[in-house]
Structure 1
Amino acid sequence: MIDYKKGRHPASATYPVIAGVALLLVLAGSCSNGDRKTVLPSTSPPEAPTTSTATTSVEDAVRHAYTQYWMALPQAEQSSSNERRRQLLGEYATQPLLDDVLRNIDQLHARNLTSSGHIVVHIQKVQIGGNRATVWDCQDSTNAQVKNSRTGQVTSRGTPNDHLRATLARGSDGRWRINRISPLGRC
């Protein structure tokens, strides 16, 4: 189980990814909208909420949706069916991210590239306002890589400190989904 309060996974939990920010940019495509100059939150872990249980459960739901996206992404990338990719990612992503990622997975595969390995999500801060939320993450993707699917040769490796900001929206079904991921540089 993920320790959402501390923003960490236990040592036994690993999350595969499309290796690091380099490939995240490929998969997220135009989702950054040029907002790389955003003022970053404090790098200290968030304090345990002191508000009501309802607030805590909403924050937990946001953290869960964000983390699960990173589990669904490599499963979708490895799937040979576009329908299955959309189904997997549609549980945790919505527009414009969903179509951008699906299109960019196709472009990745067209270049005979695929991913392997895992990342560790380190959620630093969560802000919730109504049906919108923002998550700041400092991912460790040092064990993630991109490789040529024909030769197996590694073409890219992840880094220990990819800083991301994700925005999420709560749908009419009550589920939180990511609609934008913005790389913020290193953390």
Structure 2
Amino acid sequence: MTSRAVQSLGAVALIPLVLTSCTDRAPDAPPATASPATTSASADPRGEITQAYVDFWAVGNAVAREDPGTWRTKLESVAVDPQLSRMLDNLGALQSRSLTVYGATREHVTNIDIAGDIATVQDCQDASGTGQADAKTGAHKTVGVPRSPVTARMQHDTDGKWRVAEVSYPGGTC
């Protein structure tokens, strides 16, 4: 079954796609040539951005196995709209189909472009240890792919934290 067919069913085969709602286009972002530092003239925020991006996937991978009443609060620590709403909608869709997710992704950030309070992260993500599982039995239904290009638009919020605002999958391999 193709990714498009899976999307049309309202569920996707891979954990990152499930939690982030796959799009074929890159997230809206400033031109990649802009890259001024956002926290201070002497600090390079790339390490902070990378950690926030990795934390986003860790929380996203874990939250599906937790009480739905905690999803929003936990996801708000790592995501903002439109990504936050997409993840909540997709988690609800999984739950309604008696599905959950298993495993964890492995992030391999390859580039970060920064323009003010917006950062664009390029990742060659390994999702081969993740997928959908039956919520009752834990039986694995799908498995992710090892070299999936991911683009994330991140936003530096007024509280000083970077959060994921949008995730897309440009296709191909990396």
Shared fold by TM > 0.5?
A: yes
- Partner amino acid, structure 2, of 1:73: G
- Partner amino acid, structure 2, of 1:85: W
1:78 corresponds to 2:70: no
1:87-98 map, 5 Å:
87-98=73-84
- Partner amino acid, structure 2, of 1:78: R
Whole-angstrom CA distance in 2 between matches of 1:24 and 1:65: 16
Contact 1:75 1:88 survives alignment (8 Å): no
**Partner in structure 2 of residue 35 of structure 1:** 25
Task: State which drifts further: 130-139 or 151-160.
Answer: 151-160
Whole-angstrom CA distance in 2 between matches of 1:123 and 1:21: 22
Spell out, residue by residue over 1:58-109, the C-alpha distance to the aligned partner (whole angstroms, 9 max, x if none).
1111111100001111222111133x11111111100000011011101001
1:54 corresponds to 2:43: yes
Contact 2:155 2:163 survives alignment (8 Å): yes
Whole-angstrom CA distance in 1 between matches of 2:62 and 2:125: 18
Deviation at 1:128, TM superposition (A): 0.6
Spell out, residue by residue over 1:120-164, the C-alpha distance to the aligned partner (whole angstroms, 9 max, x if none).
110000011110000000111111131112233221001110110
Q: Which has the higher strand share?
A: 1
Distance 1:26 1:117, change over 3 A: closer
Say what the alpha-carbon RMSD is for the aligned residues. Answer: 2.2
Sequence identity of aligned pairs in percent? 28
- Partner amino acid, structure 1, of 2:147: N
Structure 2 residue ranges without an equivalent (≥5): 1-11, 27-31, 33-40
Whole-angstrom CA distance in 1 between matches of 2:106 and 2:165: 21
Contact 2:104 2:130 survives alignment (8 Å): yes
Say how many residue pairs are matched: 150
Whole-angstrom CA distance in 1 between matches of 2:17 and 2:163: 19
